């Protein structure tokens, strides 16, 4: 992972915020958070020796103040409470899946050679061209690294029967699809880079909130929610 990948995420989020009105608020919020994450990443890269989570302590208060400024009301209020209570970094990081911990840990995990969550529940699928078709990888919800994964298998329960693994797309969003499972009722969104090579998977995943709403209305539950909580 290199710093320019953060620039791609930020640029894509700002670009899509102009093109996807339904997701614009989420994308603008994500872009500001990603800028802060990029600054953490760049500072961590300058550190020598073994990186420890304690390095994030200096980032906590500035991050909480940023979220009070730009966050949705409930998230901004939580940031204010955390700062007012002088909450420790250890307490904030206690639940890595919670927004504040996840936002701080992501750049840290992307600096590490190994992420402990890489085999955990994926954030999204990514499709890339291979021969006459496409191969699929799954993106880690924390470090954004990918691992190859069979296309016709549910990442949640391992279901392999084609008739239990429907795929849904929406007009105007053809490069992002809902990969659902009728056995466990889970779903994941996959970004098809063969259909849109400009897509940035973790950003386009956020930009297609309408697909999440449709999936949930039809009884499916997302394997892992994204950073903005969708």
Please, what are the averages of pLDDT over each run of 10 residues along the chain (230 residues)?
A: 81 96 96 98 90 95 98 97 98 97 97 87 93 86 94 95 96 94 98 96 96 97 96
Cα separation, 134 vs 139, in Å, equals 16
pLDDT at residue 3, as a whole number = 52
Longest CA–CA separation in the chain, Å:
57
Tokens (6 digits) for 95: 């639940």
Cα separation, 165 vs 51, in Å, equals 41
| CA-to-CA separations, 65 to 48, 69, 154, 213, in angstroms, rounded | 28, 6, 40, 30
Cα separation, 88 vs 86, in Å, equals 6
Residues in the chain: 230
Buried b (16+ CB within 10 A) or exposed e, 115-127: bebbeebbbbbbb
Cα separation, 224 vs 134, in Å, equals 23
Closest CA to 137 of 125, 154, 129: 125
Cα separation, 149 vs 136, in Å, equals 6
């Amino acid at each position: 992972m290199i710093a320019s990948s953060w620039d791609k995420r930020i640029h894509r989020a700002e670009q899509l915020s102009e093109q996807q009105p339904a997701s614009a608020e989420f994308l603008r919020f994500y872009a500001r958070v990603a800028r802060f994450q990029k600054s953490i990443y760049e500072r961590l890269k300058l550190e020598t020796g073994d990186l420890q989570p304690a390095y994030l302590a200096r980032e906590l208060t500035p991050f909480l103040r940023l979220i009070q400024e730009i966050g949705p009301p409930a998230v901004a209020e939580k940031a204010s409470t955390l700062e007012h209570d002088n909450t420790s970094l250890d307490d904030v990081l206690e639940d890595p899946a919670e927004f504040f911990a996840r936002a701080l840990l992501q750049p840290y995990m992307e600096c590490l050679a190994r992420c402990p969550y890489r085999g955990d529940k994926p954030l999204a699928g990514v499709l890339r061209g291979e021969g006459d078709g496409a191969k699929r990888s799954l993106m880690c919800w924390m470090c954004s690294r990918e691992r190859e994964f069979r296309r016709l298998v549910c990442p949640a329960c391992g279901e392999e029967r084609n008739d239990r693994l429907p795929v849904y797309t929406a007009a105007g969003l053809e490069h992002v699809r809902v990969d659902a499972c009728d056995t466990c009722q889970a779903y994941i969104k996959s970004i098809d880079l063969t259909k849109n090579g400009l897509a940035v998977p973790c950003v386009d995943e956020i930009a297609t909130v309408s697909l999440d709403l449709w999936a949930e209305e039809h009884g499916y539950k997302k394997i892992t929610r994204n950073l903005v909580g969708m």
